[in-house]
Amino acid sequence: MAGVGAEPQFHAGRSADNYVSLRDYINERINAAEQLNTTRFEAVESMFTAQNRATTMALDKATAAIDYRLVAMNEFRDSLRDQTRLYVTKSEFDGLRALTSAEIKSIQKTVYMITGGLVLLQAIISLFGNRFFP
């Protein structure tokens, strides 16, 4: 049996250089686990950074596309607003058409009366023209 100051016992075929103290072994395992966790964390952080960058770029592109569409829609709305401001409405057209139609009928009556008078004058001249114009 080994006592307090006894030499360490070695297994057959192993030398004392192959053994590590328990503290060093645990510290080495902890350092390896921390290094592995650090590497994993950096990989996850890199992945999230890339994902965030891609999301930001996609959001910027979507925002630009929506802004472009909104500008186009605003231009379309402005053109519709101009049309409603410049074009005559149906009720205005009907009112103007009725007024113009009445004026045309009035002018036609006047023309018919003048034409009738001229025809009468021509008939009078042709019947009695020989007496007054030799």
Q: What is the pTM of this model?
A: 0.42
pLDDT recorded at residue 122:
87
What total of structural domains would you count in the chain? 2
Residue 7 falls inside a structural domain:
no
Do 63 and 96 belong together in one domain?
Answer: no
Mark whether 66 and 45 lie in a shared domain. yes
Reading the block at residue 30, the tokens are 């902890």
pLDDT at 1: 46
Residues 94 and 134 in one domain: yes
Residue 6 pLDDT exceeds 90: no
Question: What's the pLDDT band for 38 if we cut at 50, 70, 90?
Answer: very high
- Domain residue limits at 123: 89-134
- Give me the pLDDT at residue 43, please: 94
Render the chain in DSSP notation, one character per residue.
---TTPPPP--TT--GGG---HHHHHHHHHHHHHHHHHHHHHHHHHHHHHHHHHHHHHHHHHHHHHHHHHHHHHHHHHHHHHHHHHSPPHHHHHHHHHHHHHHHHHHHHHHHHHHHHHHHHHHHHHHHHHHH--
Contact 8/16 with Cβ under 8 angstroms? yes
* Dihedral in degrees, nearest 10, Cα atoms 74, 75, 81, 86: 170
Residue 13 has pLDDT above 80, yes or no: no
pLDDT tens-digit map of 81-128: 888 888 888 898 899 999 999 999 999 999 999 999 999 888 888 888
